Structure 1
């Protein structure tokens, strides 16, 4: 079967057609809502029994309710059987990830003198507990375990767990178990999809209820997060993969083609575009992509061709640099590669992206695994307002203030005026002569 790559010329698209290119798989989760609600209700009622049943039904894994938690034997097996080169690469990545997030961690407290004798600032504390969701449906992702759990440990989260779907053999992926130990996580549990989100939101006999859940997932996971967001912090929206490769006329189109395959191979629900105003680059990339598909497995090339030949993928040819940049900013991608000999010239105009990878030697692969910045990024356009997962996701700010007797009168006078205007008698009284009389005694 001939597989083609979509080719869109922005100047020839209607406004409706252009808007269609900006859509994501998660734009409409209505088809998942009722099914997800039933899953969540079952987990709330039945706990581990429901998790085991869903593992058998959805993951095709033979799991019993008594086997939800990873055992010491599981960890030992993983350490013994995982290839040494994989462990070495994971250790390399862990060092980079830990360093980046340690450098990112803010100071514990700061105070600024707002007025002479009046001080205000913030104090940072770790959140009490969290769960890291590590997907598995289209592969095993120990890198997600490292990217989510290491920032949490750096932040100081005391109660940290990992939830991840079991494989067909009923076991947790060996590399994920090793990653958990590298990060210092003790509790790893066999639970995936909507049922995992329900478990960490409400708790089961084995899985503890936690304050927050972080990690990318399928539309099932996204729909479940929406439905439990009133009882648990569901963090940065992270759904199916997205990538825009933004390329100018200085690069070889074959390089753009090579990088388009990175995120398009994640699954058929990914969204990936090459955006350029160079017809040469566009045509070179279009010709090269099928050649690269031949160097991939049938599953991964199938995912990639579905994406790049589907309604939310392919090559976008703009009239000029301005039109290309406008499209990228409207899209607000999860990953944004800037392929150019001088990539920094565009950086100031690219406003919305989960991450921006600059230059010919910074493919998304490096960001996904070993550079250090987090690869759990906002999707579905949330990069307009949301940020990558970081230590800040596992910390909270508390405002701190201290006013001396010398600074108090001026502040009190102005506060009383505003309190009186807004009709708050108690507020006004608290900074009136009533307080002064008490303090004099």
Structure 2
């Protein structure tokens, strides 16, 4: 068996090319039948259903669905000091980046003399942050979701995250939550957590919105509950493209394609290059890197890179590489080149673009500052990374003074009459003039 899947893009027909674009998230609809009863049970039974599903799916008995303050305190004693220092470092960078995103609370522009229009930004009243746990612990997701939410000023913030088999929440996640400014954490995950956030239970307070990446089960629950709460940007299983133009050592491409591939067998990860020498060098390097990974993570990444949603895509030209990347619209994109800016203008469809050999996805996921909660499954074509404004809502403001009114009313009357709306027309007619001061 070959080291990894090898896709000669120029030799593929249209169907095979389309298959390369498919993600595990595309299968979420197949789970609707299994997820809908979970949602219904949580809505009807509340906490009892959460505890039952947590035993069934997470193999955990949770003593307290809401994590007690004592567990937060204990987490700072159980997590190694260097990890806490790294969390503080990351939060500082993430906060610095996202503070620049926060819009002005209000702006007004004089559209015509005496007529003003603008926007006002206010925080969403309540938001839940989903932090996954199934294939690892993710204090990084806690930081990426909590920091911009706190900067936005959301008054009611909570985290939902699956418990470990002992019923507790990952200690580093609790450290990150407290350092970011969130003190409400619920030990519940999966589709049942999304249902709890949507409908509320005896313990879990309902929220207006939920953000954060999750498994296909979480994605399916979000889709089914999209009419009940705002489910945020579509963030499913991890995916990445490492684009190598032949100017950087092929071993770097192999090293970095494993970053997102190790998340789980439902991830997607490709090396894309028009250089056969680069492709062969990357392929030759993979076994050595797998040997230096944990057994579980090596198995995950091998399943991805040897399967239908991963491996090496060999194109016929750098332009064809650009075209494939834009068609794929990856969550994470690395441009492995000594001149990455040469390619930047040609790549328009990627949620995160990390440039050059010194900017691996690892830095973006943890400490660089930009948000690593990103749209997956080709949604990068129409939306971008999680940001401060995802935790805020925008209201339009209008203010027309007496001297400006007549001109605007005249033109509005004409449009209202043309569209056949008599009340619209009457509201800016002589009828209004008779009652205005």
Same fold (TM over 0.5): yes
- Where does structure 1 lack aligned partners over 5 or more consecutive residues? none
Work out whether 1:412 is the aligned partner of 2:431.
Answer: no
Q: Distance in 2 between matches of 1:106 and 1:181?
A: 25
CA contact (8 A) 1:3 1:305 kept: no
Give the equivalent residue in structure 2 for 1:432: 429
Give the equivalent residue in structure 1 for 2:109: 112
- CA shift, 1:31, in A, is 2.6
Find 1:74's aligned residue among 71, 75, 92.
71
CA contact (8 A) 2:208 2:229 kept: yes
- Where does structure 2 lack aligned partners over 5 or more consecutive residues? none
CA-based RMSD of the aligned residues comes to 0.9
Deviation string, structure 1 residues 16-70 (Cα, Å, up to 9, x no partner):
0000000010112233111101111111111111111111111011224xx1010
Give the equivalent residue in structure 1 for 2:394: 397
- CA shift, 1:119, in A, is 1.1
Please list, as runs of the form range in 1=range in 2, the aligned pairs for 1:148-297 lying within 5 A after superposition.
148-297=145-294
Give the equivalent residue in structure 1 for 2:377: 380
CA contact (8 A) 1:247 1:340 kept: yes
- CA shift, 1:73, in A, is 1.6
- CA shift, 1:437, in A, is 2.2
- CA shift, 1:209, in A, is 0.4
Q: Distance in 2 between matches of 1:161 and 1:168?
A: 22
CA contact (8 A) 1:243 1:336 kept: yes
CA contact (8 A) 1:334 1:383 kept: yes
Give the equivalent residue in structure 1 for 2:141: 144
Q: Secondary structure in 1 aligned to 2:357?
A: coil
Give the equivalent residue in structure 2 for 1:5: 4
Q: Distance in 2 between matches of 1:435 and 1:288?
A: 78
Q: Distance in 1 between matches of 2:240 and 2:432?
A: 60
CA contact (8 A) 1:3 1:290 kept: no
CA contact (8 A) 2:3 2:286 kept: no
Deviation string, structure 1 residues 242-297 (Cα, Å, up to 9, x no partner):
00011102111001011001000000000000111111111100110111000001
Work out whether 1:371 is the aligned partner of 2:338.
Answer: no
CA contact (8 A) 1:117 1:407 kept: yes
Give the equivalent residue in structure 2 for 1:44: 43
Q: Secondary structure in 1 aligned to 2:201?
A: coil
Q: Distance in 2 between matches of 1:100 and 1:42?
A: 41
Please list, as runs of the form range in 1=range in 2, the aligned pairs for 1:18-37 lying within 5 A after superposition.
18-37=17-36
Work out whether 1:360 is the aligned partner of 2:357.
Answer: yes
- CA shift, 1:80, in A, is 1.1
Q: Distance in 2 between matches of 1:422 and 1:230?
A: 31
Q: Distance in 2 between matches of 1:113 and 1:359?
A: 45
Q: Distance in 2 between matches of 1:415 and 1:345?
A: 49
Q: Distance in 2 between matches of 1:316 and 1:3?
A: 14
CA contact (8 A) 1:107 1:124 kept: yes
Q: Distance in 2 between matches of 1:148 and 1:293?
A: 31
Q: Distance in 1 between matches of 2:224 and 2:435?
A: 50
CA contact (8 A) 1:340 1:360 kept: yes
Q: Secondary structure in 1 aligned to 2:4?
A: coil
Q: Distance in 1 between matches of 2:319 and 2:369?
A: 31
Q: Distance in 2 between matches of 1:57 and 1:346?
A: 48
- CA shift, 1:145, in A, is 0.6
Give the equivalent residue in structure 2 for 1:300: 297
- CA shift, 1:435, in A, is 1.3
Task: Single out whichever of 152-161 and 25-34 deviates more from structure 2.
Answer: 25-34
Work out whether 1:310 is the aligned partner of 2:307.
Answer: yes
Q: Secondary structure in 2 aligned to 1:29?
A: helix
- CA shift, 1:162, in A, is 0.3
Give the equivalent residue in structure 2 for 1:321: 318
Give the equivalent residue in structure 1 for 2:346: 349
- CA shift, 1:337, in A, is 0.4
- CA shift, 1:3, in A, is 6.2
- CA shift, 1:4, in A, is 2.0
- CA shift, 1:407, in A, is 1.5
Give the equivalent residue in structure 2 for 1:62: 61
Hey, which bits of structure 1, 4+ residues long, moved more than 4 A?
none
Task: Single out whichever of 2-11 and 156-165 deviates more from structure 2.
Answer: 2-11
TM-score (norm 2): 0.99
